[in-house]
Structure 1
Amino acid sequence: MGKGNFSRNTFDKLKHYVGVRLQQGVPIVDADWNELEDIRKFELETFLKWFVGDGVPLGNDGFKIEHANEGGNIRLSMSGEFGMQTIITIDHSQSTAADILGFGSANCSAAGNGLSARLSGTAKEPFALRDGTLLVINVKRSPLSSTGKAAWSRTWKVVFQNGAQFKDIGKATAAEVAAAIARAASDLRVSAGLQNDFIIKGGDGTPEGAGRCLVEGWEVINECDLHYTDQQLYENDTLAAALGVDPLLPLTGQKPDQAHSNLYYLDVWERVVDEHEDTDLVNKIIGVPTCVRIKREWVVRGLEGCEKNTVTVPETIRRQGHVYYPLARLDYYQQYGRGFTMLADLRRTGVTIVSQPDLEKITVDVKAIASDAFGADYRLAHTGRSYINTSLREAINAVLRGHMPGMPAQSLAKTNHKKTRPSIVEGNEVMHVCWQENRGSVTADSWCLSFMVYDGNAWNGPTKVGGGNAHPCNPFLLEGDEGVLALWVGDYDRRKRCIFYTKYVDEWKDVGIMIPDILISNEECEVFAIMHNDYLWLFWMDADTESGKNAIWYNRRKPYTTGRDSTDWEGKRKVPGQSAGDPVAIVDGNGNLLVLWLSQDGSPSIRSITCDLKNPSSPSWGQEETHASTQKISGGLSVVKDKTNDIWVFFSSEENFKTSLWYLRIRPDHQGVALVQLTTGQLCSDSTGRAISNREGDIFIIWNKFVGGKISEIWCRCYTSDHGWGQEMQIVPGIFGTGGGISAAVDSWDNIWAVYINNMGSQREISCRKLLPYI
């Protein structure tokens, strides 16, 4: 590494010099030039340190530490070069191992502009490789501008062979696959993803959109996300010795049986770069370098086993000339006989040049105005924009008309082909809508999933996921620990009906995971899912060959698994019960799972059964209960829980050619069961209301109301523990057609989102309306 050739260092901050003035008739020497640079740099660093402070600037989220959860996958990276674009591509036309390793068509290329290119496989070990399977990797580097640098490319063909490379090639480990690729691709960095690895958040790959952090007046920049193990100093003793720093050591991993903490922090320093490292410093006209450069380096380190509640970097590990900043702390602790982890963000965010007293006054003023107008709990969306998007005038006028205030209805997507009922859910303060759609001809049996995402500013999409010959099925969206999950029933190989799911991670990708060992015979089967104790529970209706009737079946995905393999699931099992259909489930006030379904033996009743989950890994079912009704039950169930932990089950009942809404209120711990008629109006053909509850336990029921001809409307009614049932309110007028296909969700701000299908003659559209029940 460079050291530079300087005559002397004349800068002394105690002299309080603020500038250097060049005189005429005197020689120009390096010391004066360098002191001028040192003065300017010192003033800037002092200003940033004392008047702005350490942390992440306002509007930026740089250097956030996040769990990677990528243990057992394959990761490829190629170092970058200034002024050059580096691209890693998996050649699908030749590679027979690409899909097996998780480098599918939607994840087969990665680029870096002046930076490293990194590509991670989505599949995890073990990999079902075969003898002779091939992975073809192309790396191309080309100039970003007319720099005079030459483009080049490399291709590596990796043949996986049974024998010395693998203990069992059909169950190849990530370490074995990485070693095989590394032997063939000499210049490529190949590694097996580690379960305890973590991600250091950067930006969008550009200097303008980079992640930033201020440390002791030094601005540290990270253009792209990277893993801890992606850092060049990771287990690199040679580079560490050249830089005069310590290498990055492997993380020892989680220790759930020991209570301790890990501190992740920034280590920043500056060094000299000369012409041996950067040949661009050579002036080609005179053939010699005229100046060296000062480069700011950084690395994120981990201090494992530190004391609980550590928030500063200990003095014992600090080096002279380095500055440090704590980013996050991972705490390990024991509870209920199990080990848990909690990641605490230690960064100071929202750093701004506005002085603290002024900032506090602005914050107080804004909060006071917002509290007066919208209530004390009002917050901004994650984008910084108002989450209300309507005026007080519009809201008051809507209330005076007997309607619910909110944003105007929005058309999300239109098509000439048939759509199923949409599903909507919030995940990480982002709204997701999904529906199944026939994108072939009107008669073709060609269905796919379509997704749209509302990011706080606008709806994005639709994005198509999957396709083929699935029978129409209403998809199910669910917020899980790893993101938003979409589940649906579809055809496999045009002959077998199976359950599929995919998940949202930054975007919906064209990946459908087929749940193993489930074949469904029922043509009208729909899936219901719920997360509990890190298990994903799936429920569906299908025929029981032993009884000759329909039954409720379930399967559980084990915690922290992908769900791709049979071993990730506990297996298909039957819920104890008779003549069952249309299942729903909810966690009751005791932390147990309550499953409810409609009777299919001709009796007007709702049936339920409780699953004791005191031991999550070994649930036990109780006795089936029957909740008799004097009314004919004609519609599916919708279930919610209020703040007293009472279970509310809504359903529709048809009598004298009129369909009304009813609910069953189950109070297992105190007052038994109450059966109440809610509406007497005519419901539309789907005969199903959608019930949702907010953080306060208030309940909203939304339904389609037939008003004559081919016109229906969407109405809502709210229940609060303080005031009981409120008045019916129209929220969407004049929907053409049957009005089938309504869904609803409550977001983190207690706003209601209703999505529905509007049949407009030759076209059908998915529409959405956001409502404000509290202003």
Structure 2
Amino acid sequence: MAVISQSTFDPLRRFVRVRLQQGVPIVDADVNEREDIQKFELRAFLKWFVGDGVPEGNDGFRIVGTGLANDFEIRSGVTGSVDPLAMIGRYLVDGLDVMIEKTVTYTQQELHESHGASAADKAAAWNVPLIRKMESIPASEHTILVHLDVWERLVTPSEDPDLIFAGLGTESCARWKREWVVRTRAGTELPKTGDEDFRPQHAYTPLALIARRDGDARVLPGDVTDLRQQRLLVPPANLIEDVLGTEPADYRRGQGRPPISLRAAINALLRGELPSTPDAPVAASTGNQVMGRAFAFDQSGGLVASWYGGETGGVEQVAAARIDLSTVKEGFGAPSLVTSGGPHGEPHLVALPGEDLLFVYRSGSSASADVMLKQAPLAGLGAAVETPVSAVAGTNETLPFVAVTGDVATIFFHSSATNRWQYRRWRHTDKTWADTAGAVELSNQTATGRQFHAAVGQDGGIWAAFTVQGGMQALRLDPKSGTVDHQETFANQRTDPSVLCTREQDTWVFSVDPVGVKAIRFHGTDWEQENLVVSPNSEISSLGHPSAVEDQDGSIWLVWNDASGHATDLFVMQRDPVSGEWDVLHPRRLTTSPKDDLAPFALIAPDNTIWIFWSSNRTGAQNVYYKRLITAV
């Protein structure tokens, strides 16, 4: 019996070296602790940075049915001569490297109970269970787990005479040996604390499942399902650069990673879809969330979404939530209320330089609703003071929309007094009004449908489109001077106008008429001829809510909803920047829910991914959903 001091190694003490001192005796515990430290660090690396499984180029511990009754082969995966350093069968289990030199059957293992007393004596000496016969598993169990059991034990000269030093005829140091056996048990779960076949300090990993047949004890090749993790490999750094186009150091920091897996992206393309992240709610709710176009990227690397609903005591309030673009997989944070008290709704927002957001919204819901604004960081909006934009007594002022150019925020809204669109300019830098006398009429055209959208062009002008009697009007407003030019009215009944200003100083206006989704471009000095870009795909098709963005390559991506078939779904189509052609033959489906997905709104992110927000009744109530469309990385 070897006399060895109790181990002094404790990983939580974080000792990493043992250092000799002059004039101090060396004891066995010191040397042994040094060995334990080295082993612990190697095992931790293999466990946490490599993982369990068979290395690349190896096929160790393959379980194979050969037609034997209640028996199978444990193959080494080695043919020809064995090189113990390279060609031997291997498996990493919990950071332990386990080797198999030759193929054996399950029953040939020394601890198998078919070997009688010799197996029982050895199992008792090693304090491990016998390997039970497969036939001892009840016949009612039709699934058998084959697993690897690994442990280490002390070997002394009494067991291995080679450990006696021949020159002196005395004992040398004892050794630790790594042992393994393959076991079987009913079901699919590995042994755990409290199970008869579980032992502390043992490591377990699944190798295979065997499907059992009634009245037939044979294990055939087709009965075995391989569960081994295989092809473990630490890849070269240039693989990350070649596949993902980012530096390995950045990738390890979580930077430059694709928004979705390459497998998911390829599968989407094979299905005729565009790669995208899963559909997700901004803030799951049992109440209705009314969505508009209140979404904006802030100056701190985040995206703020806003909506309104009646979950606060049944009173409509404006709510907002933010997602950090550096940790998008964590989703949107908890929503916060922007308003309180009486009913509020119809929000729109822009991000200002610094941390401030500018929210505009409708206050009240009777025939005398007003337009208000708040300017503050997101966390401070709830307590921020409301500033009236327009509060004309007896007039319903609704549907505010805000656009920022320089230090001026132009706030558009609809007035029931004239049934026209008006605006008022707010200097967000000093929080004063440029239009001190009140709101100014944007156009003398009578509005219909109260539908409006605007976007800021490259020259700082605000291009707006809205429905009017007899069609739709589009124009450009100079927010500095308040002058309007390039005003044009387009005939036919219109809905859902949407404006896109491109980097090439073009302005696109999309709208829906009875024929389909139409697009018209202001190019150079005038409006071009209007084109039909999306036609209904069936007699029962109903198109709506177009929204468009431009990516960094100059492609325009148009999103809309189509109510054909069983439900309303979202679709997307691209305009090629070189040919100038719309891919009208290949619109891509974005959603397939059996519920209605409608009113999409698109934004282009700094990383060139396209964020799509929409309203869906998937949970019974109308909630705001989102996904990211990956068109390039």
Q: TM-score, normalised by structure 2?
A: 0.54
Counterpart residue identity of residue 285, structure 2: T
Contact 1:453 1:461 in 2 (8 A): no
Q: Deviations over 1:207-261 (max 9, x none)?
A: xxxxxxxxxxxxxxxxxxxxxxxxxxxxxxxxxxxxxxxxxxxxxxxxxxxxxxx
Instruction: Give the corresponding residue for 1:641.
Output: 501
Contact 1:735 1:759 in 2 (8 A): no
Instruction: Choose which of 415, 424, 444 in structure 1 pairs with 2:295.
Output: 424
Instruction: Choose which of 433, 438, 454 in structure 2 pairs with 1:571.
Output: 438
Instruction: Give the corresponding residue for 1:389.
Output: 259
Q: Deviations over 1:560-618 (max 9, x none)?
A: 1246xx6896732222432135333333354433333222x2x13x32333346xx3xx
Structure 2: runs of 5 or more not aligned: 1-20, 22-235
The residue matched to 1:467 in structure 2 has which SS?
Answer: coil
> Structure 1's 500 and 663: CA in aligned 2 closer, same or farther, altered over 3 A?
same
Instruction: Give the corresponding residue for 1:554.
Output: 423
> Structure 1's 463 and 440: CA in aligned 2 closer, same or farther, altered over 3 A?
closer
Q: Deviations over 1:452-477 (max 9, x none)?
A: 4234321211223223332542x223
Contact 2:304 2:323 in 1 (8 A): yes
* Structural mapping, 1:401-480, within 5 Å: 401-421=271-291, 423-427=294-298, 428-440=300-312, 444-457=314-327, 458-459=330-331, 460-470=333-343, 472-473=345-346, 475-480=347-352
Contact 2:463 2:477 in 1 (8 A): yes
Instruction: Give the corresponding residue for 2:483.
Output: 621
Aligned length: 388
Contact 1:755 1:768 in 2 (8 A): yes
* Structural mapping, 1:12-31, within 5 Å: none
Shift of 1:395: 1.0
Shift of 1:382: 14
Instruction: Choose which of 488, 499, 522 in structure 1 pairs with 2:371.
Output: 499
Instruction: Choose which of 514, 533, 550 in structure 2 pairs with 1:693.
Output: 550
Instruction: Give the corresponding residue for 1:610.
Output: 476
C-alpha distance in 2, partners of 1:515/1:498? 11
C-alpha distance in 2, partners of 1:409/1:754? 10
Counterpart residue identity of residue 673, structure 1: E
Q: Deviations over 1:54-107 (max 9, x none)?
A: xxxxxxxxxxxxxxxxxxxxxxxxxxxxxxxxxxxxxxxxxxxxxxxxxxxxxx
* Structural mapping, 1:194-343, within 5 Å: none
Instruction: Give the corresponding residue for 1:733.
Output: 592
C-alpha distance in 1, partners of 2:342/2:541? 29
Instruction: Choose which of 457, 462, 469 in structure 2 pairs with 1:588.
Output: 457
The residue matched to 1:456 in structure 2 has which SS?
Answer: helix
The residue matched to 1:555 in structure 2 has which SS?
Answer: strand
Contact 1:746 1:753 in 2 (8 A): yes
Shift of 1:620: 4.2
The residue matched to 1:643 in structure 2 has which SS?
Answer: coil
> Structure 1's 522 and 648: CA in aligned 2 closer, same or farther, altered over 3 A?
farther
Mapped pair 1:718 → 2:574: yes
C-alpha distance in 1, partners of 2:578/2:404? 30
Mapped pair 1:770 → 2:628: yes
The residue matched to 1:399 in structure 2 has which SS?
Answer: helix
Contact 1:421 1:743 in 2 (8 A): no
Q: Deviations over 1:490-509 (max 9, x none)?
A: 32598852223345637464
Instruction: Give the corresponding residue for 2:270.
Output: 400
Mapped pair 1:651 → 2:524: no
Instruction: Choose which of 597, 619, 632 in structure 1 pairs with 2:493.
Output: 632
Q: Deviations over 1:176-227 (max 9, x none)?
A: xxxxxxxxxxxxxxxxxxxxxxxxxxxxxxxxxxxxxxxxxxxxxxxxxxxx
Contact 1:612 1:621 in 2 (8 A): yes
C-alpha distance in 2, partners of 1:636/1:622? 22
C-alpha distance in 2, partners of 1:575/1:540? 10
Instruction: Give the corresponding residue for 1:343.
Output: none
C-alpha distance in 1, partners of 2:252/2:397? 39
> Structure 1's 492 and 672: CA in aligned 2 closer, same or farther, altered over 3 A?
closer
The residue matched to 1:516 in structure 2 has which SS?
Answer: strand
Contact 2:570 2:598 in 1 (8 A): no
Shift of 1:420: 0.6
Shift of 1:412: 3.0
C-alpha distance in 2, partners of 1:493/1:650? 30
C-alpha distance in 1, partners of 2:595/2:326? 29
Structure 1: runs of 5 or more not aligned: 1-20, 22-364
Contact 1:592 1:612 in 2 (8 A): yes
C-alpha distance in 2, partners of 1:519/1:402? 51
Instruction: Give the corresponding residue for 1:665.
Output: 521
C-alpha distance in 1, partners of 2:378/2:312? 28
C-alpha distance in 2, partners of 1:406/1:765? 20
> Structure 1's 510 and 568: CA in aligned 2 closer, same or farther, altered over 3 A?
farther
Contact 1:650 1:663 in 2 (8 A): yes
**Larger C-alpha radius of gyration, 1 or 2?**
2
Contact 1:539 1:554 in 2 (8 A): yes
Q: Deviations over 1:514-548 (max 9, x none)?
A: 2335126665821111111221111111134xxxx
The residue matched to 1:734 in structure 2 has which SS?
Answer: coil
> Structure 1's 707 and 375: CA in aligned 2 closer, same or farther, altered over 3 A?
farther
Identity in percent? 16
Instruction: Give the corresponding residue for 2:603.
Output: 745
Q: Deviations over 1:416-474 (max 9, x none)?
A: 32211153322232122211121046xx443332424234321211223223332542x
Contact 1:451 1:463 in 2 (8 A): yes
Contact 2:453 2:499 in 1 (8 A): yes
C-alpha distance in 2, partners of 1:391/1:495? 51
Contact 1:527 1:538 in 2 (8 A): yes
Counterpart residue identity of residue 281, structure 2: S
Shift of 1:642: 2.5
Q: TM-score, normalised by structure 1?
A: 0.45
Contact 2:344 2:364 in 1 (8 A): no
Instruction: Give the corresponding residue for 2:534.
Output: 679
C-alpha distance in 2, partners of 1:568/1:675? 35
> Structure 1's 550 and 370: CA in aligned 2 closer, same or farther, altered over 3 A?
farther
Query: Aligned-pair RMSD on alpha carbons?
Result: 3.7
Contact 1:538 1:555 in 2 (8 A): yes
Shift of 1:554: 0.8
